[in-house]
Structure 1
């Protein structure tokens, strides 16, 4: 896991540049004039003009001469692709996610822990689909959030459990031990869907490590024991059962050449599946995770 220690002091001028880019990134289909940007971001108009002019000259913004508005520019496309490549996400990885998404007609995602935050690296979904998140979005990485990023790595799991939790939790339980053993044997993790869980990641998006009371209360309602929302096949009614389970997401690990978990590939489900349907989705997901592991030159650990 990367070192999350704080760097040197921040730069207010740079923060203003970032604020403009972040604002436009949150409104990718819209264009904004200088006055509105200045007002929305509480920047002096001369300061804002200097920033957008420089960004436009560099291709990071595009200015519409007719209505004098600004939007994101083409230089960000190349920059984004380079950032993905630096995080080991290449076109071949997107092709694997596309095949997975098409097979199960749902959204496939690739994520990793970057600088102590869970970050969405790639997202591929059916045409017109919207899961409410976007590439680059990040979330706090602290118990109970992030089990799928450490479940297959003993050292990472111990480090994660040693972090200060966001809410009071039970962490040394028989249930968690069973989750670890069964998920490692199966090669995937299935997270159950609850009404509160549907709201959770929307609240967490872009949030700092410090969580507001609303999110802390929601987590408290959802989770008191790490692993309690994980589906385990051993707890179902057995072969041939028609029992259906509300599933949020199915995830599988991607490994690097050190046998360490590097990323997580996931299928967004959001509906009820039978045991056999869960197994079918998981089989396709694990095959994709194995292909991505091969792309990285990685290998699975032996427990």
Structure 2
């Protein structure tokens, strides 16, 4: 019996990509049987794919006949970072930021229709919730706000139209705050940290199964949609403590274009004015430091 589920909808290239994605998401090396069972493919199909990848050093076969990613992918990863103009030392910069603010940090690039996370440091927590390097989110507000704030009016209008009309005024004020203060700040909203934590665990579990991309994307969209309202500039200057889920800042390329969004996610129910200033200082300082590094776009 042919075990390759949905073969008509899963051309050979898709199967190869799924095998690589599964190995990339696994902390341990995997046997042919493990890969086949996880992806719903026949063992002969998986064996053939892995043999071809091993010959090109995209995977490596261990002495116990299990497989893990191979050394050839190191060069592929470096080339991808170069093509995207990712600043050298990004991982170290994010790690330093995460340590300074004691929470997760991430850098994403904003395209025409999506936000792609290029690097993530989880810090002491899981935030940005459920996000890993390579995660792609549809460009729906509030995603990508740090870049959209510096886009032309037509693009800002299209972005604002991805949410209900009653939410647009607050988001428009958030864009103005990002332009004036260099930072955007979001509240926690109705979702408590415990619920976000559970959803993040679901995302991480789904990441281990490349066949569940659609469901994972839906959960990620849910996570992105339950953050609280954005704060206007006047809110941030208040003396009162505020609930904060995450903060974003733009990172500009050598031509002065906002192309990246730097993000931290403290997810705290009460953040004092002094603490807010500390978050903003470290976030914006790291953004400026990344701009001084020489990437492919500089």
- TM tier relative to shorter chain: 0.7 to 0.9
**1:66-81 correspondence runs (5 A):** 66=64, 68-81=65-78
Runs of at least 5 residues in structure 2 that lack an aligned partner in the other structure: 1-8
CA offsets 1:254-303 (integer angstroms, 9 cap, x no match): 11244321101112212231122111210221122122233369xxxxxx
Give the alignment's TM-score, normalised by structure 1.
Answer: 0.75
Task: Report which of the two has the higher share of helix.
Answer: 2
Q: Offset at 1:130?
A: 4.1
Which residue of structure 1 aligns with residue 151 of structure 2?
153
Higher relative contact order (CA 8 A, sep 6+): 2
Q: 1:145, CA displacement in angstroms?
A: 3.7
Deviations 1:171-222 (A, max 9, x none): 685434432323311110011124268367766989569975x7888877x4
Matching of residues 1-303 of structure 1 within 5 Å = 12-27=11-26, 29-66=27-64, 68-114=65-111, 116-126=113-123, 129-131=125-127, 132-155=130-153, 156-161=155-160, 165=162, 169-170=164-165, 173-194=168-189, 195=191, 198=196, 222=226, 229-235=229-235, 238=238, 241=239, 243-271=240-268, 272-295=270-293
2-structure distance, mates of 1:296, 1:20: 34
RMSD over aligned Cα atoms: 3.5
**How far apart in 1 are the matches of 2:45 and 2:237?**
65
Q: CA deviation at 1:14?
A: 0.7
Secondary structure of 2:245's match?
strand
Measure, in 2, the Cα distance between the counterparts of 1:216 and 1:106. Answer: 21
Q: CA deviation at 1:61?
A: 1.4
Question: Where in structure 1 do 4 or more consecutive aligned residues deviate above 6 Å?
Answer: 199-202, 214-220
Distance change (3 Å), C-alpha of 1:148 and 1:23? same
TM-score w.r.t. length of structure 2: 0.76
Give deviations 1:43-94, integer Å, cap 9, x for gaps.
222221111011122222121222x211222222332222112111132333
Query: Which SS does the other structure have where 1:142 is aligned?
Result: coil
User: How many residue pairs get matched?
Assistant: 273
CA distance in 1, matches of 2:70, 2:217: 33
Runs of 5+ unmatched residues, structure 1: 1-9, 298-303
